[in-house]
Amino acid sequence: MADGVIVGSAIVRLIGEYGSQADEALAQYVREMEAAMAQE
């Protein structure tokens, strides 16, 4: 559950930083998370 809170907080931070222009930043974040999980 703690991992979900950390990921959710990162997503909220990105939206707060980029606002309505957050699409690419969020997509990049998700790609990085997918790559990190694939390495495990």
**4 HSE (CA, 13 A, CB side):** 1
1, part of any domain:
no
Per the structure, the complete domain to which residue 38 belongs is given by 14-40
Q: Domain count of the chain?
A: 1
Q: What is the pLDDT of residue 10?
A: 93
CA distance 17 to 19: 6
pLDDT digits (tens, 9 = 90+) for 1-40: 667 778 889 999 999 999 999 999 999 999 999 998 898 7
**Residue 2 resides in a domain:** no
Structural domain contains residue 5: no
Residue 31 contacts residue 14 (beta carbons within 8 Å): no
Nearest to 29 by CA among 13, 11, 16: 11
Q: What is the pLDDT of residue 4?
A: 74
End-to-end CA distance of the chain: 18
Which pLDDT value is given to residue 6? Answer: 83
